[in-house]
Chains A and B, each alone.
Chain A
Amino acid sequence: DAGVIQSPRHEVTEMGQEVTLRCKPISGHDYLFWYRQTMMRGLELLIYFNNNVPIDDSGMPEDRFSAKMPNASFSTLKIQPSEPRDSAVYFCASKRGISTGELFFGEGSRLTVL
C-alpha cells in the first residue's frame, strides 16, 4: 500500500515568493494533518482536516499560511509571501477514524527560504 506522499521533497526559494506544498493521504483515511518541524519548536501542528473540512487551524502561524483540501486524496499548504523564518520541514500525516490510533506521516518537504 502506498503511504502518504508529499511533494516537493526539497524546495529552495527566495523571500517573498509563493510556496505550495502538496500531500496525498493514504486512501481511505479521513483525517489529514499538516505539521511543521523546527529545531526550536519540534513538531507543531498547523492544521487538520476531517472529510476534507478544516477542523482546527489554530496552529497556522499567520495569514501568510493557508491550506486546502479540495478532495479526499489531495491537500495543499501554501505560504505567500514566504519569509526566511518559514524554513522548516513540513510533514503531512493521515489517519482513519476518530480513534486515538497513530498517524501515518509522509517523508516531509524541506523548505528553505533565502
Chain B
Amino acid sequence: DQQVKQNSPSLSVQEGRISILNCDYTNSMFDYFLWYKKYPAEGPTFLISISSIKDKNEDGRFTVFLNKSAKHLSLHIVPSQPGDSAVYFCAASAVTGYALNFGKGTSLLVTP
C-alpha cells in the first residue's frame, strides 16, 4: 500500500518558469519529509527536506511547502533550468521509524 503518492508521473516546463511537483501522504505519523532528485544511471540524491513543525523551507531556487491538514507537500523550483530535468522523489519518515517511504517519482523535463 503506497503511503506516499506522487500522482503526476511527468511534468514539462519551460526554462525560466516555475515547476511545481506535488506529493500526498496517508500516514499521519509521518513527521519528516524529503525530496530527492535522480538523474539516469545514478542514485537518488538529497535535495531538500522539511520537518512537520514547519510549513515552508527554502534553499536557493527550491522551496518545499507542507500542508499537514491536507497531508500534502509540494516542491517549487523557480526559475526552472534545463539541468533540473530529472526524476524527483518525495519521501517521508515517522518519528519512530528510520527508513524512508518513497513515492513513485515525477519525471520533470525543463525545455529551453
Contact = CB atoms under 8 A, between A and B. Distances in A.
- A and B are interacting partners: yes
Interface of A: 4, 31, 33, 35, 41-45, 48, 50, 55-56, 91, 93, 95, 98, 100, 102-108
B102 interface: yes
B46 A102 contact: yes
A31 B104 contact: no
Interface string B17-59: 0000000000000011010100001111110010100000000
B41 A43 contact: no
Given A43-B44, A102-B49, 6 more contacts: A42-B105, A45-B99, A56-B99, A105-B45, A107-B42, A107-B43
Interface of chain A, main secondary structure: strand
Given A42-B89, A43-B44, A91-B44, A103 B103 contact: no
A42 B32 contact: no
A43 B105 contact: yes
Given A42-B105, A56-B99, A100 B44 contact: no
Contacts of A108: 41-43
Contact of B99 (A33, A42, A106): A33
A41 B98 contact: no
Interface in B64-112: 89, 93, 95, 98-105
A98 B49 CA distance: 16
A44 B104 CA distance: 9
B103 to A, nearest CB: 6
A108 B43 CA distance: 6
Most buried by B among A31, A93, A95, A105: A105
